[in-house]
Structure formats: structure tokens, C-alpha cells
Chains A and B, each alone.
Chain A
Amino acid sequence: MEWEAVIGLEIHSQLATNSKIFSGASTTYGAEPNTQACAIDLGMPGVLPVVNKEVVRMAAMFGLAIEAEMGEYSVFARKNYFYPDLPKGYQISQFELPIVGKGHLDIELEDGTTKRIGVTRAHLEEDAGKSLHEDFHGMTGIDLNRAGTPLLEIVSEPDMRSAKEAVAYMKKMHSLVTYLGISDGNMQEGSFRCDANVSVRLKGEEEFGTRTEIKNINSFRFVERAIEHEIERQIEILESGGEIIQETRLYDADKDETRSMRSKEEANDYRYFPDPDLLPVVMDQAVLDAARDSMPELSDARKARFIDQYGLRGEDAGQITASREMADFFEAALEVSGGSDAKIVANWVIGEFSGALNREGLSVQEAPVSAAMLGQLVKRILDNTISGKIAKEVFEAMWQGEGDADVIIEQKGMKQVTDTGAIEVMVDEVLANNPKQVENYRNAEEQKRGKMIGFFVGQIMKASKGKANPALVNELLKKKLDS
């Protein structure tokens, strides 16, 4: 029996506004508990929510980016449930008329082909507060700073067929919202998280199997692992003749498994109805035009331009443009380097720079080496001040905060030796010290000599501590050995 997974994702992306969706309280992360929860966020009697203009513009930009249908009116609704981190007893969300309708996002699969994933809808809603279950003498502590923070909930069609596709979709969506600048995408702080709906069916079957929902996954790695485990678990149950129960499950990263959340006594009954405190929000041509004007170049367009304008390989261009920060970094470094050799800049960005970021778990903004610093380093390779090999040492020194490239090259005397006389002295010395190898070389056939010369080059580079210009060394060696 061959099984097939059917996956849909609901992504919650926090919108990067200064104030909350319905109040003028700040959304800054990490403040003292309840210092950013005003009367509206607390659900005090007599308050009236007023919609933040910026969330409408951001939703419009998102809708345009996924080529979504957008109606002229969208309506806020009350989703009713009781939980202490939701002081009003309802969450203001959208139900029947969401701000963004049907759209789509193209993802790239491992084999290089493109797959179109449908987006069912995206709606605006307010986030809830945070419950702290640590010991408060048998009580629970509530911090309402997060209550009222604007969220865009992006619901996909059940179009994904493997955990890998789900991760590719989540990454692409993350890249999109950060490119648009509508979310900071910070997953540790919960700005970008998702719920996954997973079911399996026999391949070729039309009907969907019973699905389970995995809640609150906040990393790309966990999304892949959680879905993979859930698929395996469901297949095992079905193959042993069992039945899948529709339920909500939690992914436990420590144990690397999903487990059932205590199933509620009854199915959720949210009794949605239009919020009488809020009027319909208009998305007319003026709003759409303003959103269109503020749209940046998005990743797919930027990738195509990098291939076309800079001659980068598709894979490299894809890697650099996957995040807006990295693509901005690349273009800034390229400009400082003089702009003549994009490929070498790309190699440094993908190689040393990304490698160092990964090693230390830093973001582009947190890197100790700026785009200007890397650009200057590449400039010094291109003008033959230093060799590529020495440049790696300079990069490491820059990363350790020892200054910019010129300062380090000067201080450590790393300048490449391009003085023919000086190199000639080194060449003579190496040849004099290795008479046997010289004799072997001269007796060897022409086609073997190319390989044998490497030995001498190595010795000279060692003697010069890597500073001799390799092209000059080769040239002088050949002249002396072949004479």
C-alpha cells in the first residue's frame, strides 16, 4: 500500500506595527508585564476599538503579492471563548468576509520544479495575552502586553503532499512577509508560527482522510519533524486497522513526537458574529494603489534580476535572495567592491559570511562584518593587494572585531608581494634548496611537469607566508626551471 500525506498550514504572522490593531498601546517585545496593556486591550467596559490604518495597508500588500482576490469590504467578527489571557471573552477576528481572499504562492521543490500552493484566505485578528503557569501559589499569572497585537492568519489549501513541501511553503511565506516588511519574522519571539493540518490517504484516492491539527510550531526544523512524525503515526494506525481521531496534537520537541492535547469535552463552538463595535473596513482602489506603490522588489523578481544582471548561477541567486537582508547585504557589498565581479562577492556571501553566521547563530543584522567591510575586502582581492587565501585570514580577523580590511592588512603586513625582484630571490632559494626535485622535474615528460610544479609553488608560498602573488610565482618558476 502506498500512502500519501495531505497537509495544509495556518500561519500566524505578527504584523510589524508600532501600535496595536485596535488601540494606541505599544507592541514592543519584551516590556515589563502589563505595561503595554491599555483599557482597550484589557477589555474594560465602555471602550471602543479603532482599526489601525497600517494593518490594512499591510494586508493589502500581502494580498497583492499573492495575487489574491480582495473584496471591497471586510468585516470583523467576534470569536467567543473563555480563557484568562483573553479578557473580553472573545477575540476580534474575521470570519465571513476576510480582508484577503483566494491567492497562491509558488514554491520550489527539491528536484528544481515549481509547485503552486493555494492560499484559501488571510484574515486580520488580535493576539491574546500570555499565561504563566509557574508557581504563583496555585494561581496562574497573566501578562496582557501581547493582547491586541495585530496578526495576519494565512490559511493554505490542503495542497502539500510531504513535510518537505510544507517546510518549503513556510520558508517561502516567511521570506515573503519579511521582504514586504509587514512582519519581522522573528520565530523565537513568536512573530511567525504555524498550525499544521495533517491527514493521509491511499495514493490515487480522491477523499481526504481524517485529519489532526498540530498546534503552535515555531521553527522550520520542528515543522518538518512534527509533520513527518504525525504522518508515520497515522500510517501505523491505519495499517494496523485502526482509526484516526480528529483532534488537536502538540509537538514535543524534546521527545520528538506529537501527543494528544486533552480532548475537549465538546467541540469548539465559537459562535462567530459581526462585531457591532466595528464597521466594515473599506479596501478601495486608493488603498490598493497606495499599497502597490509601497511594494518592494520581491524574492522571485530579485532572483531573476541577479541571474540576468550579475550573471549569478540560479542556485546562488536563489540562496542569496531567499532573505531580503541577505540580498540587500550582497548588493551593498558588491557596490563597495567596485561592482566589477559579482560572482566573487556572491562566493564570499554564500561561503565565508553565511558560514560564519550559521556557526554563531547570528542574523545578517547581528553580524560583526558589515556589507561595506566585506565589499572592501573583496576590492583588495580584486586589486591584487591580497590573495584569496590571505583574504580568509583577514575575514576572520574582521569577524573578531580587529578592524576593517585595510587596517588589518596594514597592521599584520599581509600585503601581497608583487615585486618581481623579491619573488625571484625566493624562487632561487627554493630551487637551490631542492636540487633533487629540480632534477626530477627537468627529466620528466612535458605533460607531467604541470603537476610537479605545484611542489615548488607550495614551497614558495610557504616561504612568503602566502603573500607572494601566485601568478608571478608561476611565471618565474617556469622561466627558471625550463631554462
Chain B
Amino acid sequence: MSLGPDEVKKIAHLARLGIREEDIPEYARNLSDILSFVEHLGEADTEAVAPMAHPLHATQRLRDDVVTENNQREKFQQLAPQTQDGLYLVPKVIE
């Protein structure tokens, strides 16, 4: 499988990565190599194998429905670039 420049741009956009135009051919080559490598898996016969959701043979441990976290807003907000009235501020979002 091989990816073209448009697909690389789309993947970069979905991941919100800024990439330089001149780097695109190299990204395309690297990503295509990874895909080709993974394609080897297609050679295995998986007809009778159930899809796996997790590599561990274990199931989810459940937690009792109890409130265990207290308010640590002040601590968390010290890490934020900008806050106001208890809100985190981000560049304006227009839908």
C-alpha cells in the first residue's frame, strides 16, 4: 500500500500536525513502508479467530460508584496558561 501527498496532508490535519511541504515525500515513503510491513498480517489465516480487543487475557476491573476525588482546581489551574472565574481559557472557538 502506498500513500500519496494528499493522504499525508489529511492525516497531518486529523492529528493537527503542521508539516513542511518539502517533508511530505519522506513522510509518504515512511508511512507507506509501515503499512506494507503491517500488510504481512494479511497472509495469516484468521478465519476462525475472534477479533481481539486487548492483548491481555484479562477483563476490566470495576470500581464502586463512590466519590473519591476532591476539588483540586487551584492546583490544576496553576498548570494552565490562562484561567478566569474558575474556567480554563482557550483561543476562541467558533462552531
- Which A residues contact B (CB, under 8 angstroms)? 17-19, 23-26, 32-39, 42, 44, 50-56, 73, 75, 80, 82-84, 96-97, 131-133, 136, 138-144, 261-262, 266, 269, 271, 274, 276, 278-282
Q: Given contacts A50-B63, A141-B85, list 6 more A-B pairs with CB under 8 A.
A: A50-B62, A73-B59, A83-B93, A84-B90, A136-B84, A279-B54
| Choice from B16, B60, B92 contacting A139 with Cβ under 8 Å | B92
Listed by A's residue number, 30 A-B pairs whose Cβ atoms lie within 8 Å are: A17-B65, A18-B65, A24-B68, A39-B76, A42-B76, A51-B63, A52-B62, A52-B63, A52-B65, A54-B65, A84-B90, A96-B51, A131-B93, A133-B93, A136-B89, A139-B84, A140-B89, A140-B90, A140-B92, A141-B84, A141-B87, A142-B88, A143-B86, A143-B87, A261-B95, A269-B14, A279-B53, A279-B60, A280-B59, A281-B62
Q: Is B67 an interface residue (CB 8 A)?
A: yes
C-alpha gap A54/B91 in the complex (Å)? 37
**Contact: A282 with B86, CB < 8 Å?**
no
Q: Is B40 an interface residue (CB 8 A)?
A: no
- Interchain nearest-CB distance for A149 vs B (Å): 13
Count how many pairs of residues, one from A and one from B, have CB atoms less than 8 Å apart in the complex: 130
C-alpha gap A450/B2 in the complex (Å)? 97
- Interchain nearest-CB distance for A174 vs B (Å): 23
Chain B interface extent, by class: 35 or more
Interface members, chain B 58-75 (any A CB < 8 Å)? 58-69, 71-73
C-alpha gap A321/B66 in the complex (Å)? 32
Minimal Cβ-Cβ distance residue in B for A271 = B14
Q: Is B77 an interface residue (CB 8 A)?
A: yes
| Choice from A23, A53, A73, A280 contacting B64 with Cβ under 8 Å | A53
* Interface majority SS (helix, strand, loop, mixed), chain B: loop
Interface members, chain B 22-37 (any A CB < 8 Å)? none
Pick the most buried of A38, A73, A75, A131: most chain B CB atoms within 10 A of its CB: A38
| B61 partner residues in chain A, CB cutoff 8 A | 50-51, 279
**Contact: B90 with A34, CB < 8 Å?**
no
| Choice from A36, A50, A54, A261 contacting B71 with Cβ under 8 Å | A36
Pick the most buried of B10, B56, B77, B90: most chain A CB atoms within 10 A of its CB: B90
